[in-house]
A and B are shown apart, each in its own frame.
Chain A
Amino acid sequence: MIGLARQLALALVTFLVVLLGWRVAHPAARLGGRAPEAPTFSITALNASGHVDLSSYAGRVVVLNFWASWCGPCREELPLLEREWRRWRGDVVTFVGVDVRDATGDAKKVIAAAGITYPVGHDHAYTVERLYSVGALPETFVIRPDGHVAAQFAGAVDAGRLGAAIARALGER
């Protein structure tokens, strides 16, 4: 009887080890499901006419950056984002800026001063900020071509981590 109990315990341990190994190998499983879907939105463009519409970038990797002109770490980060945009834009990658809690005039001045060429829109009434549960600025999301969020960075990103996240998202096409 004791021998049988011992064998069952060994079988149970093996069973759990197999499940644990699978969950470690599959990051989405650690979250208890698939990677979250990136909510779509359409907001007024600040550095072009018309709107910035996330759904129009389906099939591309999107780097979505939340920022504000009054936020020092955001202003410091902008030149890096512009550099990375120029580096990646030939690879089915789009950068999109979302200006939040800001005066549009101030935001436009900062965009011009930093020489930002990727599309930037203004979020009225916290709509997009709420959709993405943004808790700090800057905050950046990397969205896969299938519309799921691949990575999120709270605070300013560095080129190495951002590049790695983009490359991973491109690899999942």
Chain B
Amino acid sequence: MEWYLPLRAPVPLRGGTRGRANEYEIRMIRPPAAALSVLLGAGAGAAALALGAGATPPKPVPLSRFVSRLTPAENKVALSDAELAALRGWARGVEACMTKIGIRAGAPTVGHDEILIALPRVSKKERLQRAERSTRCVASVGGPPAHASFVIEHDGRIHLYRPRACLLPVVPAKT
């Protein structure tokens, strides 16, 4: 009986492959030898695990490595049509206010889980001033609808969405 190892790459024929580029010799290992290798490997693995279990118990993982974090992109709840319509209505009010005070803003567009208002590129200093003025507009139209967050992100766009959680600013460790 012949048997070969499926994990092994084919070996090119000796003496070159001129004119026979696609031909390969499949080298075989007989079952007893392969079985012995498997048994050896499994035995070594089991021994390593047994030795590991008998050794000093592993230290607990630090909690900071265990916890998972929500990224801003993951922190958006999928919105129903009614919720999207309500958010868009509010965003139109903000856009109208911004236009009135001289901030050029695009019309609100609907993303799959948020409303976006595009803003033209400006310098970093102007961006800060614009953010302050935009915030005044947000206050003047009565703040975002219940359960919604209004964020001016680094991509220069205003994102209006319903968050899954309130992301906390990092508190610097005491020195």
Pair A18/B63 contact, Cβ less than 8 Å: no
Q: Which of B67-75, B78-86, B115-123, B125-133 touches A?
A: B67-75
Contact of A103 with B by CB under 8 A? no
Pair B49/A136 contact, Cβ less than 8 Å: no
**Shortest CB–CB separation between residue B73 and chain A, in angstroms?**
13
Give the size category of A's interface with B.
35 or more
> A29's closest neighbor in chain B, by CB?
B58
**Shortest CB–CB separation between residue B43 and chain A, in angstroms?**
9
Pair A36/B70 contact, Cβ less than 8 Å: no
| Residue in contact with A10 in the complex, picked from B34, B45, B61, CB distance below 8 Å | B34
Interface string of A103-133 (1 = CB under 8 A from B): 0000000000000000000000010011111
Pair A34/B61 contact, Cβ less than 8 Å: yes
Q: Which of A10-24 contact B (CB under 8 A)?
A: 10-19, 22
| Residue in contact with B166 in the complex, picked from A7, A15, A19, A72, CB distance below 8 Å | A72
A-B contact pairs, 29 of them (CB 8 A): A3-B29, A3-B33, A6-B5, A10-B34, A10-B37, A10-B38, A11-B37, A11-B44, A12-B41, A15-B41, A15-B42, A15-B45, A18-B41, A19-B49, A31-B65, A34-B60, A36-B60, A72-B147, A72-B163, A73-B163, A73-B164, A101-B168, A126-B171, A129-B171, A134-B168, A135-B167, A152-B66, A154-B68, A154-B70
Contact of B175 with A by CB under 8 A? no
Per the bound structure, the CA–CA distance linking A27 and B151 in Å amounts to 38
Please give, as numbers and ranges, the residues of chain B lying within 8 Å of A71 by CB-CB distance. Answer: 165-166
With A19-B45, A36-B61, A136-B166 known as contacts, the answer to whether A76 contacts B147 (CB < 8 A) is yes
Per the bound structure, the CA–CA distance linking A43 and B167 in Å amounts to 23
Pair A74/B166 contact, Cβ less than 8 Å: yes
The 4 closest A-B pairs by CB, nearest first: A14-B41, A18-B45, A11-B41, A10-B37
| Residue in contact with B63 in the complex, picked from A2, A32, A132, A137, CB distance below 8 Å | A132
Contact of B8 with A by CB under 8 A? yes
Contact of A156 with B by CB under 8 A? yes
Pair B168/A137 contact, Cβ less than 8 Å: yes
Pair A149/B66 contact, Cβ less than 8 Å: yes
Contact of A91 with B by CB under 8 A? no
Per the bound structure, the CA–CA distance linking A139 and B119 in Å amounts to 34
Contact of B139 with A by CB under 8 A? no
Please give, as numbers and ranges, the residues of chain B lying within 8 Å of A134 by CB-CB distance. Answer: 67, 168
Per the bound structure, the CA–CA distance linking A35 and B60 in Å amounts to 5
Contact of A145 with B by CB under 8 A? no
Contact of A172 with B by CB under 8 A? no
Please give, as numbers and ranges, the residues of chain A lying within 8 Å of B69 by CB-CB distance. Answer: 135-136, 154
Interface string of B22-64 (1 = CB under 8 A from A): 0000010100011011101110111011000000011111111
**Shortest CB–CB separation between residue A148 and chain B, in angstroms?**
7
Pair B166/A73 contact, Cβ less than 8 Å: yes
Contact of B146 with A by CB under 8 A? yes
With A34-B57, A149-B63 known as contacts, the answer to whether A13 contacts B7 (CB < 8 A) is yes
